[in-house]
C-alpha cells in the first residue's frame, strides 16, 4: 500500500502508569524563566518541582552557550532586578578574580561563564527549597473534564513513563510546549510562517585579547568586526548573511564566547529541524573559526573548546493570552495597571534568510515599557502560566521580550503568582491573584516596576 503522504500511525495499548511526583507547582523548563519561576514559587512557600530535559539549568545561556547576558538596564539604571540580577551577580562572585574586577560594576552584556552559571543555578534553586528533576521530557498534559485546568503532566525519562500531579503548572519551555499540548491557541513566526534564524554559539580558547584590541585600534574596525567580516564575505571566506560578529564576550584574556552568524529555516519545535541545525551550525562554526585564524590578529591559534549542545533559538510559538503586548505598547513606553516587569531591550528581529534585513528599534535612554501580568495567562486554562519568550505578544515585541533578563522577570512573577494563588484556596486560579498583592510581593523581593510603583515601610506606594 502506497503512502498517501499522511503521517503513518500506530495505536498504542492503554497503559496504567505510576504517579512519580506530586507538587503544588510544577515548572517545566530550566532556562532563565523557569529557574526564576521555581526559585520564586519555592521561596514563597510552594512545594515546587522543576523539570528540565538536560542535566543542568540555564537554557540558552548554558545549553546553547549564548555568550553574554543582554542588558539589565535602560542605559541609566537597572530595571530588571530581583532574582535575575541576583543570579548574575552571584555568577560574577564565583568567577576568577580578574573577571570579577573587570565586570564588577557591569550590568549590560556581562559575559557568561557557563560552567560557573550551571553551578550557581543548581545551588540557588536547591537553597530556595525547589526540587530538581533533570534528564526528563514532558510527554503530555492531563486536563480536567471541563478542559479548564491542568491536573498534571506525563513525563518520560530513564526511569520510564510516569505522571506528575500538580495544582499549578508553569510552562517555561520557551516554545510553549505544554500550553500547545493543552490546546492553548498560539502563533508562530511571521505572516508567512518565517522564523528568525538560529545561531550556533561557541567558546574559543588560546586567543590574545591585547593583540585583538591593537588590531581594532590600528584598523579602525569595530568590536563586531564589520569591515573584516565584509571583506571575508567578499573573498568567499564566509557565507552571505549578517555582515558582522553578533557578539564577542571575553570571559578572560584568553577565552571568548562567540555569537556569530545564522542558521536559517530552523523551526525549534521540530526535532528534525533541530538536528539539521546542529549539523549545519557546527559546520558553520568551523568555517568561522578558520575565518578568525586567518583574518583576525589575536586569533591565529584560536581553539574551539565547546559549541552549543543545541542551536540557539530566538523564536517559535507565542501564546494567545489575556492581553497581547504590541509594538505600539513598546514605542509608547506604555505602563499597565497589572505590570509585573519593565523592559527596555531594543526590538531585535533577525533576518529570516541570508538576503533579508534586520529590524532594530530602540527606546530612548531612561525609558521602558511595562509587561502586564495578563501576557503570562494563556486563553482557556485557569492554572497555567507561560513566562519567557513564548509569552503573549505580537512578533515585533517578541523580538525585544525574548532575552534572558526579561525571562527572569516574567519567571519570577509567574512563580510568585502561583504561590499566592495556592494560598487563596485549592482552586489555584491564575486569574484570581490580586494584582496589588502580587506587585507588592515582587517589590519586597527586589523587583522594579517603575518609579510610580515602589515599596516603602507602609507598603506599596
Rounded to 5 degrees, φ, ψ at 458 are: -95, 5
Please state, rounded to an integer, the average pLDDT across all residues of the chain: 94
C-alpha cell at 3: 503512502
Q: What is the pLDDT of residue 451?
A: 80
* Residue 147: per-residue pLDDT: 96
CATH code for the structural domain at 19-189+315-460 = 3.50.50.60
- pLDDT grade for 5, boundaries at 50, 70 and 90: low
Q: How confident is the model at residue 242 (pLDDT cuts 50, 70, 90)?
A: confident
Output the pLDDT for position 187: 96
Q: Is pLDDT larger for residue 285 or for residue 4?
A: 285
Q: Which one has a higher pLDDT value, 66 or 360? A: 66
**pLDDT, position 124:** 98
State mean pLDDT over 377-385.
97
Q: How confident is the model at residue 3 (pLDDT cuts 50, 70, 90)?
A: very low
Q: Grid coordinates standing for 268?
A: 525549534
Instruction: State pLDDT tens for residues 327-354.
Output: 999 999 999 999 999 999 999 787 655 5
pLDDT of amino acid 191: 86
Q: What is the pLDDT of residue 6?
A: 65
Is the pLDDT reported for residue 355 higher than 80?
A: no
In this predicted model, what pLDDT tens digit does every residue of 9-19 receive, in sequence order? 999 899 999 99
Residue 69 pLDDT more than 50? yes
Which residue, among 58, 51, 53, 55, has the nearest Cα to 130 in the 3D structure? 51
pLDDT digits (tens, 9 = 90+) for 148-207: 999 999 999 999 999 999 999 999 999 999 999 999 999 999 888 899 999 999 999 999
The domain spans of the chain are: 19-189+315-460, 202-307
3-state secondary structure string across the chain: CCCCCCCCCCCCCCCCCCEEEEEEEEEECCCHHHHHHHHHHHHCCCCEEEECCCCCCCHHHCCCCCCECCCCECCCCECCCCHHHHHHHHHHHHCCHHHHHHHCCCCCCCECCHHHHHHHHHHHHHHHCCEEECCCEEEEEEECCCCCCEEEEEEEECCEEEEEEEEEEEECCCCCHHHHHCCCCEEECCCCCCCCCEECCEEEECCCHHHHHHHHHHHCCCCCCHHHHHHHHHCCCCCCCCCCCCEEEEEECCEEEEECCCECCCCCCCHHHHHHHHHHHHHHHHHHHHHHHHHCCCCCCCEEEEECCCCECCCCEEECECCCECHHHHHCCCCCCCEEEEECCCEEECCCCCCCCCEEECCCCCCCEEEEHHHHCECCCCCEECCCCCCCECHHHHHHHCCHHHHHHHHHHHHHHHHHHHHCCCCCCHHHCCHHHHHHHHHHCCCCCCCCCCEECCEEC
What's the confidence (pLDDT) of residue 87?
A: 98
Residue 411: per-residue pLDDT: 98
pLDDT of residue 458: 47
pLDDT of residue 1: 37
- Residue 151 burial (CB < 10 Å; 0-12/13-18/19+)? middle
Residues 411, 172: contact at Cβ < 8 Å? yes
Flag the least confident range among 15-29, 204-218, 416-430. 416-430
Q: What percent of the chain has pLDDT over 70?
A: 95
Which range in 12-16, 210-214, 237-241 is most confidently predicted, on average pLDDT? 210-214
Can you give the pLDDT at residue 14?
Answer: 92
Rounded percentage of the chain residues whose pLDDT exceeds 90: 89
For residue range 251-269, what is the model confidence (pLDDT) as tens digits? 999 999 999 989 999 999 9
pLDDT tens for residues 23-65?
999 999 999 999 999 999 999 999 999 999 999 999 999 999 9
Give pLDDT, residue 237.
96
Greater confidence (348 vs 437) lies with 437
Q: Which cell numbers in the block locate residue 38?
A: 521555581
Amino acid at each position: 500500500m502506497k503512502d498517501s503522504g499522511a503521517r503513518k500511525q500506530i495505536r498504542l495499548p492503554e497503559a496504567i502508569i505510576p504517579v512519580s511526583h506530586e507538587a503544588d507547582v510544577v515548572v517545566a523548563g530550566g532556562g532563565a524563566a523557569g529557574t526564576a519561576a521555581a526559585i520564586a514559587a519555592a521561596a514563597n512557600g510552594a512545594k515546587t518541582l522543576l523539570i528540565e530535559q538536560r542535566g543542568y539549568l540555564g537554557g540558552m545561556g548554558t545549553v546553547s552557550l549564548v555568550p553574554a547576558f543582554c542588558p539589565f538596564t535602560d542605559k541609566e539604571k537597572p530595571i530588571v532586578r530581583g532574582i535575575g540580577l541576583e543570579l548574575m551577580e552571584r555568577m560574577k562572585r564565583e568567577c576568577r578574580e580578574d573577571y570579577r574586577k573587570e565586570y564588577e560594576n557591569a550590568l549590560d552584556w556581562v559575559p557568561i561563564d557557563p560552567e560557573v552559571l550551571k553551578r550557581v543555578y543548581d545551588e540557588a534553586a536547591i537553597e530556595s527549597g525547589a526540587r530538581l528533576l533533570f534528564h526528563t521530557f514532558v510527554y503530555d498534559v492531563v486536563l480536567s473534564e471541563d478542559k479548564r485546568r491542568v491536573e498534571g503532566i506525563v513525563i518520560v525519562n530513564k526511569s520510564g513513563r510516569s505522571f506528575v500531579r500538580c495544582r499549578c503548572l508553569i510552562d517555561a519551555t520557551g516554545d510553549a510546549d505544554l500550553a500547545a499540548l493543552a490546546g492553548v491557541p498560539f502563533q508562530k513566526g511571521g505572516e508567512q510562517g518565517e522564523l528568525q534564524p538560529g545561531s550556533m554559539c561557541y567558546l574559543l580558547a588560546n586567543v590574545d585579547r591585547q593583540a585583538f584590541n591593537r588590531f581594532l585600534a590600528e584598523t579602525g574596525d569595530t568590536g563586531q568586526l564589520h569591515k573584516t567580516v565584509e571583506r571575508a564575505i567578499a573573498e568567499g571566506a564566509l557565507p552571505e548573511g549578517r555582515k558582522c560578529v553578533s557578539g564577542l564576550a571575553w570571559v578572560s584574556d584568553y577565552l571568548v564566547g562567540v555569537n556569530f552568524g545564522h542558521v536559517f529555516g530552523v523551526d525549534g519545535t521540530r526535532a528534525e529541524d533541530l538536528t539539521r541545525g546542529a549539523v549545519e551550525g557546527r559546520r558553520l562554526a568551523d568555517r568561522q573559526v578558520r575565518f578568525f585564524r586567518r583574518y583576525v590578529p589575536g586569533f591565529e591559534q584560536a581553539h574551539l573548546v565547546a559549541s552549543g549542545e543545541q542551536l540557539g533559538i530566538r523564536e517559535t510559538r507565542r501564546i494567545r493570552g489575556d492581553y497581547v503586548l504590541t509594538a505600539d505598547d513598546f514605542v509608547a513606553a506604555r505602563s499597565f495597571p497589572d505590570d509585573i516587569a519593565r523592559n527596555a531591550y531594543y526590538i531585535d528581529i533577525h533576518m529570516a534568510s541570508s538576503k533579508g534585513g534586520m529590524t532594530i528599534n530602540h527606546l530612548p535612554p531612561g525609558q521602558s515599557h511595562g509587561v502586564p501580568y495578563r501576557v503570562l495567562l494563556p486563553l482557556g486554562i485557569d492554572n497555567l502560566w507561560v513566562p519567557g519568550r513564548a509569552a503573549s505578544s505580537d512578533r515585533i515585541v517578541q523580538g525585544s521580550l525574548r532575552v534572558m533578563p526579561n525571562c527572569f522577570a516574567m519567571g519570577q512573577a509567574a512563580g510568585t503568582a502561583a504561590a499566592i494563588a495556592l494560598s487563596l484556596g485549592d482552586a489555584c486560579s491564575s486569574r484570581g491573584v490580586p494584582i496589588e498583592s502580587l506587585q507588592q510581593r515582587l517589590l519586597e523581593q527586589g523587583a522594579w516596576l517603575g518609579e510610580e510603583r515602589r515599596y516603602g515601610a507602609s507598603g506599596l506606594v
